[in-house]
Amino acid sequence: MNCPDPAPAALELDRVAWGSGILHPVSLTLNPGRVLGVLGANGAGKSTLLRLIYRFNQPQSGRVLVDGADIHRLPARRVAQRVAAVLQEQPTDFALSVAEIVALGRAPHRRSFAGPSAHDAHLVDHALDRLGLHDFADRPFGTLSGGERQRVMVGRALAQQPGLIVLDEPTNHLDIRHQLEVLRLVRGLGATVVASLHDLNLVQGFADDLLVLAGGKALAFGPVAEVLTPDLVARAFGVRAMPRGHSRFDFSLFDDMQQETHA
C-alpha cells in the first residue's frame, strides 16, 4: 500500500508580533510546498517567530493562518494534524525505542483512548523506511548520535503527515555530513517547510525563500537569489560577505577589513 504525502499547507503571517520589542509585526505569505529559511543573528527573533507558527506561543497581536484558518482559534489536536515541529535539542532520556518515538507522530490522528490502527502502523513503517531507520527501530532513543536523533524526529514528523513542518535550528551541533543529510531529508518530504538556520551557505541550497530578521524586525522576505545579498548580510549579521563561486560566500568582520586597509 502506497503512502501518498499529504497536501502541503499554505502559510500566512498577518502582522504577528510577540513580547515587548522581541518580535515586531511580521507579515508574509508562503505558498504550498515552498521551503522558507529564517535567518538572523542570535536574538533576532527567529525562535520566537517559529514558536508562534507551531502554536507553542500565541501572538500578542496578529494571526498565523494555515490553509486560511487562524491556528490559535482551532483545537490543538486539529492543528497538530497539519503542523509538525522538529526542534534543535532533543531529550536523550526517553525510555522509548526509535519506533515508539516515530509512532508518537500518529497521536493527533487517533481518537481518544483508541490504540494504533493498522493504518497507523503502516505509516510508521513507511516513515522508518523513508528515513533509513529500520536498523535502529528497536534501539533506545537515548543511545543514538545527534544526527540519528534528528532523523528520528524527522521520521516522527513524517508519520504525523503534516502539511507544514517547522524546524528550529535543526542542524545545530551536527557535523556537516549530518547537516546536509537532515536538510536533504526534510526537503524531500513534500511538505511546506519553515526552518531557522545559521549557515548562510547551507541555506542557499535548501530554501526557496528567505525571511531575514534583525532585532525582532523583518529586514527582507523573498526568493533566496533576490534577498541574500552582501548588503543584507552586513545589515543582519554585521559581517562583510564576499561572493565566492556559485551560491557561496566568504565572510570577514568589518574590523578585519579595516585593519587590512590600513596595513
- For 182-233, how does the pLDDT look when each residue is reduced to its tens digit (9 = 90+)? 888 888 888 999 999 877 878 888 899 999 999 999 999 999 989 988 888 8
Coil, strand or helix: which one is 173? coil
Question: Rounded to two decimals, what is the model's pTM?
Answer: 0.88
The answer to whether 164 and 64 are in contact (CB under 8 A) is no
Give the pLDDT score at 178: 79
For β-strands 249-253 and 239-243, DSSP reports them as antiparallel
d(CA 42, CA 55): 21
For β-strands 11-18 and 61-66, DSSP reports them as antiparallel
Mean model confidence pLDDT for the chain: 86
- For 20-70, how does the pLDDT look when each residue is reduced to its tens digit (9 = 90+)? 889 999 999 999 999 999 999 989 999 999 999 999 999 999 999 999 999
* Residue spans per domain, the chain: 11-224, 229-263
Distances (CA, A) of 183 to 82, 179, 222, 248, 262: 20, 6, 20, 17, 41
Give the pLDDT score at 261: 37
| Secondary structure element (H or E) that encloses residue 226, with its range | helix 224-227
Give me the CATH topology for the region 11-224: Rossmann fold (3.40.50)
Average pLDDT for residues 155-177, to the nearest whole number?
88
